[in-house]
C-alpha cells in the first residue's frame, strides 16, 4: 500500500486517490528564460519517477507540469536581448525539451503555458475580489489580502505573524499588509506591449502565484490528488496557491476540513554544491547540457534517484563518478546473462517484495536501488536458466525507474566517459587489434603493456573463448 509524505500534514499518509484507480498530479515547472540546471533536472526526474511508479502499480495518471512564460525575469531578459517575449521563451522551451529527451523523461500529459490561461487567471482574481479577499491598490496592482484568509500558513506550519514576505513577494507601501501578494501587476510605461493584457483592473499581467492556481484548477479540477515541486516552492508559492485557490472557490471561512485544494503536497529536496544550496545568485549552478557533455544521461538520473527524493544531495564530479561506477556494476551483471526484455515478476520473490515495499514507502528509491544491487549480486552468483531469470527480474524492476534498459555493451562502451582520456571507441578497438597482433607474434610483453595502458586510461579488457576480447569503460 503506497504511503506518501504529505508536507501539509508533515507525516506519511496512506495514499487514497479521490477517484479509485486514477491519480491527478500537478507539478510546478520551469520559468523559461535560461537553460535548465541540475536543480531543474531533479524536479523533472523525481516526478518522472513518481508518475512511472504510479502507472507501474496500475493507476491511470493525468500528469500536468506547467511552463511559466511570463515573469519579471523573462521580461528583463527579453529587454536585455532586444527580442520578443515569445521568441525568448520558445527558444528555452525547446532547450528544456531537448534536455528532457536526453534524460529519457516521459512528457506530461498536459504542459500548459501561463500565457494561454490569462482569462482563467482573471476569472479567479475576479472571484477573490467578489469574496473580499483581494483589493486593488493605489498603484493599480491587485493584491491578495492574506490576513483575511484565516488558514494562511498551514502548509509552512507557521502563523501569519511568524511569516515574512519571501524573496519573490515584493513589499511596497501601497499594500495593506507586507504579506499581501500580487495577483495582477499593473503595466509599467517602460514595459513592452507583449508583456500586458487588458483586464477589468487595467492593462497588466498576472502574478506568478495565480498562474499555477488557474492552470491546475482548469486542467485537473478544483480538488485533485497530488501537487509537487521543489522544497523552495513550499513558501511562499504553494502557500499562496492554497490561499488563492481555496479562497476563490469557497471564500474566507473555508477550512481544510471542508475540502482541501490538494490532498497531498510533495516537495523534493535541494541540490547543494560544497554544502551550499545551489543557486544562480551564488553562481554555483550547473546546466544539464554541460553536465551531459561529461557524463551519460543515465548516470545523472542514477545520481539523483539513488538518494531519497526529500533529502538534500551534494553535487560534485566525485558523486557522479560514484553513480557511474554503480551503474557499471549493474550493467556488468546483465552483460553475460542475456535477460529477457520484459517478464512477469514473481510476487513471492524476497527482493521483488523488498523493491516494491521501498517504492511504496514514500518512493524510497535509495532502498529500492539497494535491492537492485543485491539482486545483481545474485545474478553474478547464479548459472544457466536461474541467471537469466534473475537478470530479467533485475531489468524489469529497474525499468520502473528507467534504468538498465540499454544494451549492456553499449552502456559499458559509452562514448561519454567519466574521464578526459580522449580515447574514442575506434581508438580502443585499434589498440585491441594491436594487442591481438602482438599476441599472435608471441610478443607478450607488448600485449601486456597495451592491456596495462588501456586499464590506466579506464578501459577494462576481458578475453573470452575463441580469441574474442570484450571491453568496457571502468
User: pLDDT band at 166, cuts 50/70/90?
Assistant: very low
User: pLDDT band at 167, cuts 50/70/90?
Assistant: very low
Query: What is the fold of 317-412?
Result: 1.20.120
pLDDT tens-digit profile of 89-106? 999 999 999 999 999 999
pTM: 0.89
Q: How far apart are the first and last CA of the chain?
A: 39
Q: What is the DSSP letter of 37?
A: B
pLDDT tens-digit profile of 316-352? 989 999 999 999 999 999 987 877 776 788 888 999 9
User: pLDDT band at 162, cuts 50/70/90?
Assistant: confident
pLDDT value, residue 77: 96
User: pLDDT band at 169, cuts 50/70/90?
Assistant: very low
CB contact at 8 A, 337 and 387: yes
Of all residues in the chain, what percent are helix, strand and coil, respectively (each to 5)?
Answer: 45, 20, 35
Q: Report the C-alpha gap between 357 and 355 in whole angstroms.
A: 6
Cell numbers 602482438: residue: 438
pLDDT tens-digit profile of 62-91? 999 999 999 999 999 999 999 999 999 999
User: pLDDT band at 161, cuts 50/70/90?
Assistant: confident
pLDDT value, residue 206: 97
CATH number of 3-271: 3.40.50.620
Question: pLDDT > 70: what percent of the chain?
Answer: 93
Return the half-sphere exposure (C-beta side, CA atoms, 13 A cut-off) of residue 407: 5
Q: What is the DSSP letter of 138?
A: T
Summarize the annotated binding site for ATP as residue ranges.
Answer: 280
Contacts 24+ apart (CB under 8 A), 140-143: 140/186, 140/201, 140/202, 140/204, 141/174, 141/182, 141/183, 141/184, 141/185, 141/186, 141/204, 142/182, 142/183, 142/184, 142/201, 143/175, 143/176, 143/180, 143/181, 143/182, 143/183
Summarize the annotated binding site as residue ranges.
Answer: 28, 212, 237, 241, 280
pLDDT tens-digit profile of 177-192? 989 999 999 999 889 9
pLDDT tens-digit profile of 446-467? 788 888 888 877 788 888 777 7
Per-domain boundaries in the chain: 3-271, 317-412, 425-473
pLDDT tens-digit profile of 365-419? 999 999 999 999 999 999 998 999 999 999 999 999 999 999 998 899 886 655 5
Length of the chain in terms of residues written:
474
* Residue 4: pLDDT over 90: yes
Average model confidence (pLDDT) across the chain:
90
The residues near 70 (Cβ < 8 Å, ≥ 6 apart) are: 85, 114, 115, 195, 205, 206, 211
pLDDT tens-digit profile of 202-241? 999 999 999 999 999 999 999 999 999 999 999 999 999 9
Residue 329's nearest CA partner among 369, 367, 293 is: 369
Beta bridge partners of 131: none
Summarize the annotated binding site for Zn(2+) as residue ranges.
Answer: 28, 212, 237, 241
Q: Report the C-alpha gap between 262 and 225 in whole angstroms.
A: 6
Amino acid at each position: 500500500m503506497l504511503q506518501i509524505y504529505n508536507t501539509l500534514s508533515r507525516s506519511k499518509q496512506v495514499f487514497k486517490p479521490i477517484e479509485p484507480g486514477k491519480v491527478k498530479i500537478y507539478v510546478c515547472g520551469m520559468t523559461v528564460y535560461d537553460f535548465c540546471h541540475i536543480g531543474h533536472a531533479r524536479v523533472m526526474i523525481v516526478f518522472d519517477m513518481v508518475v512511472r511508479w504510479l502507472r507501474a502499480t496500475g493507476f491511470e495518471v493525468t500528469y500536468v507540469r506547467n511552463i511559466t512564460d511570463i515573469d519579471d525575469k523573462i521580461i528583463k531578459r527579453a529587454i536585455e536581448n532586444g527580442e520578443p517575449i515569445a521568441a525568448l521563451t520558445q527558444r528555452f522551451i525547446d532547450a528544456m525539451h531537448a534536455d528532457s529527451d536526453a534524460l529519457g523523461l516521459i512528457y506530461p500529459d498536459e504542459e500548459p503555458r501561463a500565457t494561454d490561461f490569462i482569462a482563467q487567471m482573471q476569472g479567479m482574481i475576479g472571484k477573490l475580489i467578489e469574496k473580499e479577499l483581494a483589493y486593488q491598490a493605489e498603484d493599480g496592482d491587485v493584491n491578495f489580502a492574506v490576513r483575511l484568509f484565516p488558514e494562511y500558513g498551514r502548509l509552512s506550519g507557521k502563523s501569519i505573524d511568524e511569516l515574512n514576505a519571501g524573496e519573490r513577494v515584493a513589499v511596497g507601501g501601497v499594500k495593506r499588509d507586507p504579506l499581501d501578494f500580487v495577483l495582477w501587476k499593473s503595466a509599467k510605461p517602460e514595459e513592452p506591449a507583449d508583456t500586458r493584457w487588458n483586464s477589468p483592473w487595467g492593462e497588466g499581467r498576472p502574478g506568478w502565484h495565480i498562474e499555477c492556481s488557474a492552470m491546475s484548477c482548469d486542467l485537473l479540477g478544483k480538488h485533485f490528488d497530488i501537487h509537487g515541486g521543489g522544497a523552495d516552492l513550499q513558501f511562499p508559492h504553494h502557500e499562496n496557491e492554497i490561499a488563492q485557490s481555496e479562497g476563490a472557490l469557497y471564500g474566507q471561512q473555508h477550512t481544510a476540513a471542508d475540502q482541501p485544494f490538494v490532498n497531498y503536497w510533495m516537495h523534493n529536496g535541494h541540490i547543494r554544491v560544497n554544502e551550499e544550496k545551489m543557486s544562480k545568485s551564488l553562481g554555483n549552478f550547473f546546466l544539464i547540457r554541460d553536465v551531459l557533455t561529461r557524463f551519460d544521461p543515465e548516470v545523472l538520473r542514477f545520481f539523483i534517484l539513488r538518494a531519497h527524493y526529500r533529502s538534500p544531495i551534494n553535487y560534485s564530479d566525485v558523486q557522479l563518478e560514484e553513480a557511474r561506477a554503480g551503474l557499471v556494476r549493474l550493467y556488468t551483471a546483465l552483460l553475460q546473462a542475456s535477460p529477457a526484455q520484459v517478464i512477469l515478476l514473481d510476487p513471492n520473490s524476497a527482493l521483488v517484495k523488498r523493491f516494491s515495499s521501498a517504492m511504496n514507502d514514500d518512493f524510497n528509491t535509495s532502498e529500492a536501488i539497494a535491492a537492485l544491487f543485491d539482486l545483481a549480486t545474485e545474478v553474478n552468483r547464479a548459472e544457466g536458466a536461474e541467471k537469466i531469470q534473475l537478470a530479467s527480474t533485475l531489468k524489469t524492476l529497474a525499468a520502473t525507474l528507467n534504468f538498465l534498459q540499454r544494451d549492456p555493451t553499449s552502456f559499458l562502451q559509452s562514448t561519454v566517459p567519466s574521464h578526459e582520456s580522449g580515447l574514442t571507441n575506434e581508438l580502443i578497438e585499434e589498440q585491441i587489434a594491436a594487442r591481438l597482433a602482438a599476441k599472435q607474434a608471441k610478443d607478450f610483453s607488448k600485449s601486456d603493456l597495451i592491456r596495462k595502458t588501456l586499464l590506466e586510461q579506464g578501459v577494462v579488457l576481458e578475453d573470452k573463448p575463441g580469441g574474442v576480447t570484450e571491453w568496457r569503460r571502468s
